[in-house]
Amino acid sequence: MLCGIGLDTLVERRTASGAGLQVRYSPVCGTSWGRVRDTRVGDRIEPTAAGPTRSAEITDALDATAYVYTPMTRTAPGTLVRACFRPAGQTRREECFEATVR
C-alpha cells in the first residue's frame, strides 16, 4: 500500500516524559494514524477521529526504541483528530493533542 507516500504530519510533539508523538494523514488512502518513539514499556498512544479510538501499546524494550504505529482510521479533510499519549504508571498524566486534517 502507498499510504506512506505524500503524507502530512498533522501533529508532532514531544511529551513531558520525552516520547515523540506524531499524527499522520494520507490523502492517497484517506486515513490517519498515530506513531510514537522514545517511549517506555506500558506507554500507549490513542488517536480518535470520526470513528472508534485506535491504540498501540509499548509492550517490550524493542518497541520502546522504535516507532510504534496505531491502526489507521478513515479520515477526510476537515476531520478533527485527537491523539492522547498515556504514559505507563499512575503518577504521570495523559497528554492530548488535536489537529484538523487539511
Alpha-carbon distance 82 to 64, whole Å? 22
Q: Which residue has the higher pLDDT, 5 or 37?
A: 37
The predicted pLDDT at position 51 comes to 84
Task: State the pLDDT at residue 90.
Answer: 74
**Would you list the domain boundaries of the chain?**
8-94
For 67, other C-beta atoms within 10 Å of its C-beta total 13
Q: What is the pLDDT of residue 84?
A: 97
Q: Nine-digit cell at 68?
A: 510504534
Reported as a single tens digit per residue, the pLDDT across 32-87 is 999 999 999 999 999 999 889 999 999 999 999 999 999 999 999 999 999 999 99
What does the block give as the cell for 81? 483528530
pLDDT-derived band of residue 1, with 50, 70 and 90 as boundaries?
low
